[in-house]
Homo-oligomer: A and B are copies of this chain.
Amino acid sequence: MSIPDIATFFRIDPVEEGQLETPVPVIDLDVVARNVLRWQERCDALGLANRPHIKTHKLVGLARFQLAAGAQGITVQKLGEAEVMAAGGITDLLMTFNIVGAPKLRRLAALARRTAISVVADNTAVVDGLARAGRDAGREIGVLVECDTGAARNGVQSPEAAAELAGLIEATDGVRYGGLMTYPAAGMRTTAAAFLAQARDRIAASGIGTNVISTGGSPEMWNDEGLEVATEYRAGTYIYNDRALVAAGACTLADCALTVHATIVSVPTPDRAIIDAGSKALTSDLVGQDDFGSLPDLADARVYKVNEEHGHVDISVMADRPAVGDVVRVLPNHACPVSNLYDRVALARSGRLLGLTRVDARGLVW
Residue numbers in B under 8 Å from A104 (CB-CB):
21
Question: Does A98 interact with chain B (Cβ within 8 Å)?
Answer: yes
Does the CB pair A266–B154 fall under 8 Å?
yes
User: Is A364 a contact of B343 with CB atoms below 8 Å?
Assistant: yes
Let me know if A336 and B308 touch, CB within 8 A: yes
Cβ-defined contact, B154 with A310, below 8 A? yes
The answer to whether B324 touches A126 (Cβ under 8 A) is yes
- Minimum CB–CB distance from A259 to chain B (whole Å) comes to 15
Q: Bound complex: CA of A286 vs CA of B306, how far in Å?
A: 11
Query: For residue A104, which residue of chain B has the nearest CB?
Result: B21
CA of A18 to CA of B102, assembled, Å = 9
The interface residues of chain B lying within 8 Å CB-to-CB of A152 are 272, 312
Tell me whether A362 is interfacial, beta carbon within 8 Å.
Answer: yes
Give the nearest-CB partner of A310 in chain B.
Answer: B153
Q: Which of B21, B102, B308 contacts A101 (CB 8 A)?
A: B21
A window 3-55: CB within 8 A of B: 18-24, 55
A285 to B278, CA, bound (A): 12
Q: Is the CB of B122 within 8 A of A268?
A: yes
Interface residues of A in 149-194 (CB under 8 A from B): 152-157
Within 8 Å by CB of A325, from B101, B327, B341, B363, lies: B101
Q: Across the interface, do A98 and B266 meet the contact criterion of CB distance under 8 Å?
A: yes
Nearest first, the 10 A-B pairs at minimum CB distance are: A343-B363, A98-B265, A125-B324, A21-B366, A284-B284, A154-B266, A284-B285, A77-B309, A21-B103, A100-B265
Please state the number of chain copies in the assembly: 2
Contacts A/B (CB < 8 Å), 17 sampled: A20-B103, A21-B366, A23-B365, A97-B309, A100-B276, A123-B268, A125-B323, A126-B266, A153-B274, A153-B307, A280-B337, A284-B284, A284-B285, A308-B337, A343-B365, A362-B363, A363-B363
Number of interface residues of A (CB under 8 A): 65
Cross-chain contact of A285 among B276, B279, B312 (Cβ < 8 A): B279
A218 contacts the other chain (CB 8 A): no
Rounded to whole angstroms, the CA-CA distance of A364 and B122 in the bound complex is 38
| Contact indicator B18/A324 (Cβ below 8 Å) | no
> Which residues does A use to contact B, with CB under 8 Å?
18-24, 55, 77-78, 97-98, 100-104, 122-123, 125-126, 148, 152-157, 263-269, 272, 274, 276, 279-281, 283-286, 307-310, 312, 323-325, 327, 336-337, 340-343, 362-366
Assess the B325–A281 pair: CB atoms within 8 A: no
A266–B122 touching, CB < 8 Å: yes
| Residue from the list B156, B280, B323 in contact with A268, Cβ < 8 A | B156
Inside 8 A of A156's CB, which chain B residues have their CB? 268
B283 close to A284 (CB less than 8 A): yes
* A307: chain B residues within 8 A (beta carbon): 153
Query: Shortest Cβ distance from A234 into chain B, in angstroms?
Result: 13
Q: Bound complex: CA of A154 vs CA of B267, how far in Å?
A: 8
Contact at A78–B309, with CB atoms within 8 Å?
yes
Instruction: From the candidates B20, B55, B77, B341, name the one contacting A365 in the complex (CB within 8 A).
Output: B341
Question: Which residue of chain B has its CB nearest to the CB of A325?
Answer: B100
B269 and A157 form a contact (CB under 8 A): yes
Check if A366 sits within 8 Å of B24, measured CB to CB. yes
A283, closest chain B residue (CB): B284
Please give the distance in Å from A224's CB to the nearest CB on chain B: 25
Q: Are A337 and B101 in contact (CB under 8 A)?
A: no
